């Protein structure tokens, strides 16, 4: 199992420059600790998460690191022109000397994103899958002609070509169509922090029924904080968890109220934003507790990568937590 860092560029102190460079410090620390991967999320219109523009953020990370794999976690494809995404990913792969991983998602539940980018929620997944198919052609073929429902091009070749052939792809979705697409192409899957173990196991099971050989490419992102005692860890992480819970509960309620189509319930068998659920299903606690939680996820999901999202408002506390993980947890699971 590889260890990764999940990067949201959290704006804890209402200081954009500080938020950006504190995240960079954590990525550099992760590389120094021997972490294999760092994944950068995409968020829009959100004062708490300052990562709307993945390409410059990751280009900067490419310049200040040398060994750690840099992943998009994930590009929200419905909000981008896929031709431009193909150019961006090929350029980034060259900038980081072939250390790029390409995670994709449809976005949500953030209604403002769909509203301001002019993409209806019921089209998001279809756009994601069609854009992904076009991007794969553009990255590795020449004179591409494509006639889709949403995207078209004729006799198109993009430059530069990526160094990796292929760039590893991960799909962040539990939807049947997206799982099928990932399995048919031997792409990896991504599971986010609020996804329940029940949902994750169901997703992995569907994938493995279609493609057993690619099933080890599963990336699990989890909120994380390890401390000397369980109570200390929970106390340090709780303000972050509470803020996330309140924000996501409000967003999901808005989605449920405004959706013209039935939506899956947000509950403990699917996606849940309750504080107690998030604490229990995160890698938060003392050393023994964190070891046990990681072992459970490994046993149930056969993880390829565990991507840790440090969950203290304090940079120093997060750095100490990563050090403790590296010294007392990582080599025992």
Per-residue pLDDT reduced to its tens digit, 271-292? 888 999 999 999 999 999 999 9
pLDDT reading at 116 higher than 60? yes
pLDDT at position 40 is 98
Angle at 309 between CA 308 and CA 315, to 5 degrees: 120
pLDDT reading at 258 higher than 80? no
The domains of the chain, with CATH numbers, are 2-332 (3.20.20.30)
How many secondary structure helices (H) and strands (E) does the chain include?
A: 11, 11
pLDDT reading at 265 higher than 80? no
For the whole model, what pTM was predicted?
A: 0.95
Q: Looking at 21-35, 103-117, 175-189, 251-265, which range is the least confident one?
A: 251-265
Per-residue pLDDT, averaged over 64-91, amounts to: 98
Angle at 146 between CA 142 and CA 147, to 5 degrees: 170
The more confident residue out of 256 and 249 is: 249
Q: Looking at 150-154, 250-254, 309-313, which range is the least confident one?
A: 250-254
pLDDT reading at 200 higher than 60? yes
Q: Is 254 left (phi over 0), alpha (psi -120 to 50) or beta?
A: alpha
Percent of the chain clearing pLDDT 90 (strictly above) = 87
Cβ contact 204:188 at 8 Å: no
Per-residue pLDDT, averaged over 240-260, amounts to: 79
The helix or strand, by DSSP H or E, that contains position 19, with its residue range, turns out to be helix 16-32
pLDDT reading at 34 higher than 70? yes
pLDDT at position 104 is 98
Q: Are strands 305-310 and 218-226 parallel, antiparallel or unpaired?
A: parallel
pLDDT at position 227 is 98
Instruction: Give the CA distances from residue 254 to residues 49, 173, 223, 232, 249, in Å, rounded to whole numbers and listed in that order.
Output: 20, 20, 24, 34, 9
pLDDT at position 215 is 59
pLDDT at position 263 is 59
Name residues whose C-beta falls within 8 Å of residue 216's C-beta, 6 or more positions apart in sequence: 302, 304
User: Rounded mean pLDDT of the chain?
Assistant: 94
pLDDT tens for 13-22 read: 999 999 999 9
Q: Where are the alpha helices (DSSP H) in 141-195?
A: 176-184
Split at pLDDT 50, 70, 90, the class of 249 is: confident
Say how far residue 68 (Cα) sits from the centre of its chain.
16
Split at pLDDT 50, 70, 90, the class of 252 is: confident
Rounded Cα distance between 296 and 290, Å, is 10
pLDDT at position 264 is 60
Q: Looking at 110-114, 156-160, 188-192, which range is the least confident one?
A: 110-114
Percent of the chain clearing pLDDT 70 (strictly above) = 95
């Amino acid at each position: 199992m590889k260890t990764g860092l999940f990067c949201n560029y959290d704006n804890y102190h209402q200081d954009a420059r500080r938020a950006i460079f504190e995240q960079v410090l954590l990525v550099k620390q992760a590389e120094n600790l021997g972490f294999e991967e760092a994944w950068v999320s995409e968020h829009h219109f959100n004062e708490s998460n300052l990562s709307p523009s993945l390409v410059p953020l990751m280009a900067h990370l490419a310049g200040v690191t040398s060994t750690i794999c840099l992943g998009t976690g994930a590009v929200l494809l419905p909000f981008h022109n896929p031709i431009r995404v193909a150019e961006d990913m090929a350029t980034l792969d060259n900038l980081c000397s072939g250390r790029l991983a390409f995670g994709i998602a449809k976005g949500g539940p953030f209604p403002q994103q769909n509203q301001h980018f002019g993409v209806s929620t019921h089209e998001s997944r279809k756009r994601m899958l069609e854009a992904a198919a076009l991007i794969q052609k553009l990255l590795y073929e020449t004179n591409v002609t494509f006639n889709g429902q949403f995207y078209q091009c004729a006799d198109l070749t993009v430059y530069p070509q990526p160094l990796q052939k292929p760039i590893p792809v991960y799909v962040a979705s539990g939807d049947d169509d997206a799982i099928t697409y990932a399995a048919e192409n031997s792409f990896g899957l991504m599971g986010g922090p609020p996804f329940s173990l029940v949902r994750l196991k169901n997703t992995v099971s569907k994938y493995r029924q279609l493609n057993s050989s690619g099933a080890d490419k599963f990336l699990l992102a989890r909120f994380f904080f390890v401390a000397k005692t369980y109570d200390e860890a929970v106390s340090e992480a709780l303000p972050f968890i509470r803020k996330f819970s309140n924000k996501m509960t409000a967003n999901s309620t808005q989605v449920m109220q405004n959706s013209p189509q039935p939506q899956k319930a947000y509950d403990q068998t699917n996606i849940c934003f309750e504080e107690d659920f998030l604490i229990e299903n995160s890698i938060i606690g003392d050393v023994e507790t964190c070891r046990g939680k990681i072992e459970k996820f490994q046993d149930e999901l056969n993880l390829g990568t565990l991507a840790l999202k440090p969950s203290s408002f304090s940079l120093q506390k997060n750095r100490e937590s990563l050090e403790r993980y590296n010294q007392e947890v990582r080599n025992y699971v």
